[in-house]
Amino acid sequence: MFRRLFVVVTILATCLVAMPQAAHAQSWKNYRITDTWHCKPDASNTWMITLTVCTVINGTLAQGVVIVSNNTQEWLSVQANVRAYSRGSEVRNSSDWCDWANLGLGSSACFGPTFSLPCTANVQGYANVGYSYASEGSPVDYREAFAATNQMCITT
């Protein structure tokens, strides 16, 4: 009896430990643009927000970033999905998302994961951003934008 119970408990414990963990959304972060950032403000900006999509390139390493600026005097709720494209296809392991967060006047950034591509590859950051007033029941609007295409290992 106890042996059978021990076996069942051991199997359950093993299953729980081996279960895949749920995806964890990234946090919105402060940022500092440097010469490795290749950014393009989005032409479809609204009076509420400004999107600037960037590709940070450092040799063969890169990552997509979106900067969201709140242009209102109200708190906004924002979320984003960031990824990168190369040669017309999404770069493997380049996608991540930042969960809904409140953004006051100012800006914050959502960073995609760092990935590697050869120096011969071109890369382009992409973001899809959801936003609304932070008050309950406000309708959500979405904007998507791309950064300019740049070659990996770019030095300027």
Residue range 43-57, pLDDT digits in tens = 667 889 999 999 999
Domains and CATH numbers, the chain: 25-151 (2.60.40)
List, in sequence order, the alpha helices (H) in the chain: 2-18
pLDDT score of 25? 56
Residue range 50-87, pLDDT digits in tens = 999 999 999 999 999 999 999 999 999 999 999 999 99
Residue range 4-44, pLDDT digits in tens = 433 333 333 333 333 333 344 568 999 999 999 999 887 66
Do residues 80 and 97 lie in contact, with contact meaning Cβ atoms separated by under 8 Å? yes
| pLDDT of 109 strictly over 60 | yes
Q: Tell me which H or E stretch contains 2.
A: helix 2-18
Q: Is the whole-model pTM more than 0.75? A: yes
Residues contacting 69, CB < 8 A, separation 6+:
49, 50, 51, 52, 106, 107
